[in-house]
A and B are shown apart, each in its own frame.
Chain A
């Protein structure tokens, strides 16, 4: 499992780093936009410079036109004077707009317009009207003063435009530097985040891999133990067919300590047990083997399953670690009876030949829990054609709904019985789980009771309707021969 605290920490660090990255990227984007805005500004600046030189040229054309006319009296010189004079105010307005676009507070254009108007009124017009007046010293002087003033304004305006151009250039280069820095920072942050993500991911993967490895190792050992415990062949008997199936849990869930056992004892008795150690892993497998050992060693001497369980409880109490649910039973083939005691385990189901199901309820607490538990044995008659099904809780607990699980199990048992199958245990497993691996360990042990002379065969559908016949009906001689040949 991934440590949730650490992964939450990593998540928030990643979130913070991503926020920083977003800030950097936003800053880079903003300064890139500023550069674009500055380019517009510089375009406006260039337009202003063009309009400025145009205004200067118009003024120059006025002046040279006037002087030419004064010197030659040729009307052709009045042409540039007049057209320039006409175009002047529109050009001045355009320049004023240009300057306003670059920033407030320009007075040079207005001054130039005023000076030009004065020059036209005081110098040019009188000189054109009367060349004698025009050549007078005072008018010449006045003309020079006004033209100088105009040039001075233009020089100041030119300086102002240069100053604005310098500032804009400085701003642009600063913004380019900013954009580069933020882009670089974004790149670095991105690289750092990617590195961190890959580092964290690698570490998580490594941890997961280690945990998986450790888990698989333990599961492998536990499975091997389990398999070794269960590999023992079930006894082959003349009057009963025993089938067992054990399926360990899928990868994600626990590996438990489920088991089943059946031994043929002397005087026609079968000792069987099935159980489930609460817990999982190697510990559970070890406890399981001790309980099975106890059941076997006590069961050989002791005929009463309740006493077998009581003894197993004492042995388990010495360990004092966990509880075990188990069913222990004794089948007396000679008298066609089955005696069962239960230590907190799901009740065995007996499907009679007539199709009725009976739950062999004989409740006592799980083993290993209490100092002096009381177990009771419960005896039932068995008939030919009946089927006893023992199972662990994984069979009915798979949906975490016991009632539904029990109903499904009984349904599966009935379907197996009516379908006629060779291995009822495997068929019940298949009917319940299909091809899905169970989430918990699952063990099923079935005992089919049949005629002594009938060879093991698929349970016929008509067996269910055959009259229930005690196994005892068979001749003792056939019975002994069958047992002899089976062992």
Chain B
């Protein structure tokens, strides 16, 4: 299980860094993205999470698990991500799957 954790605000100004760090999860057996300390995310950040999912599914790997804090729940709901990737409230829940 490989975990990448983020905090603060993620938007198009931090997109490259986000992409670089998510790339490290591409080959992992199980990928967990911990966003519980993220206070804001824009759609470009969402795009990178979806691209990670797409890259893994094209390689026949499992769906990334996302840990989502209350402050960004809404953007995931609006974008309909809950139907695409499993969302967890805590890292422990994401670990046990």
| Stretch in contact with the other chain, from B20-28, B29-37, B48-56, B86-94 | B48-56
Q: CB of B83 within 8 A of chain A?
A: yes
The reply to whether A365 and B84 form a contact with Cβ atoms under 8 Å apart is yes
Choose among B12, B39, B43 the residue that contacts A393 (Cβ–Cβ < 8 A): B43
The reply to whether B43 and A369 form a contact with Cβ atoms under 8 Å apart is no
With contact pairs A342-B80, A402-B75 given, residues A279 and B12 touching in the complex (Cβ less than 8 Å): yes
Number of interface residues of A (CB under 8 A): 30
Main secondary structure, interface of B, reads helix
Binary interface encoding of chain A residues 238-260 relative to chain B, with 1 for a CB under 8 A from any of its CBs, else 0: 00000000000000001000000
The reply to whether A278 and B43 form a contact with Cβ atoms under 8 Å apart is yes
Q: Which residues of B contact A (CB under 8 A)?
A: 9, 12, 39-40, 42-44, 46-47, 50-51, 53-54, 57-58, 74-75, 77-84
Which residues on the B side are within 8 Å of A280 (C-beta)?
12
Which residues on the B side are within 8 Å of A374 (C-beta)?
83
Q: A397–B71 Cα gap in the complex (Å)?
A: 12
The reply to whether A366 and B83 form a contact with Cβ atoms under 8 Å apart is no
Separation in Å of the B35 CB from the closest CB of chain A?
15
Which residues on the B side are within 8 Å of A371 (C-beta)?
54, 57-58
The reply to whether A366 and B47 form a contact with Cβ atoms under 8 Å apart is yes
With contact pairs A364-B83, A370-B84 given, residues A278 and B46 touching in the complex (Cβ less than 8 Å): yes
Q: Which residue of B lies closest to A279 (CB)?
A: B44
Q: A368–B50 Cα gap in the complex (Å)?
A: 9
Q: A254–B83 Cα gap in the complex (Å)?
A: 29
With contact pairs A278-B42, A325-B43 given, residues A370 and B80 touching in the complex (Cβ less than 8 Å): no
Choose among B39, B54, B77 the residue that contacts A370 (Cβ–Cβ < 8 A): B54
The reply to whether A346 and B54 form a contact with Cβ atoms under 8 Å apart is no
The reply to whether B74 and A403 form a contact with Cβ atoms under 8 Å apart is yes
The reply to whether B43 and A365 form a contact with Cβ atoms under 8 Å apart is no
Q: A343–B43 Cα gap in the complex (Å)?
A: 12
A-B contact pairs, 5 of them (CB 8 A): A278-B47, A325-B79, A346-B78, A366-B47, A370-B54
The reply to whether A365 and B12 form a contact with Cβ atoms under 8 Å apart is no
Q: A370–B80 Cα gap in the complex (Å)?
A: 12
With contact pairs A344-B79, A402-B74, A402-B78 given, residues A365 and B42 touching in the complex (Cβ less than 8 Å): no
Separation in Å of the A81 CB from the closest CB of chain B?
101
Q: CB of A92 within 8 A of chain B?
A: no
Which residues on the A side are within 8 Å of B83 (C-beta)?
363-365, 374
Q: A342–B74 Cα gap in the complex (Å)?
A: 15
The reply to whether B12 and A366 form a contact with Cβ atoms under 8 Å apart is no
Separation in Å of the B10 CB from the closest CB of chain A?
11
The reply to whether B80 and A278 form a contact with Cβ atoms under 8 Å apart is no
The reply to whether B74 and A278 form a contact with Cβ atoms under 8 Å apart is no
Q: Which residue of B lies closest to A397 (CB)?
A: B42
Q: A402–B73 Cα gap in the complex (Å)?
A: 9
Separation in Å of the A396 CB from the closest CB of chain B?
9
Q: A254–B43 Cα gap in the complex (Å)?
A: 13
Q: CB of A379 within 8 A of chain B?
A: no
Q: CB of A43 within 8 A of chain B?
A: no
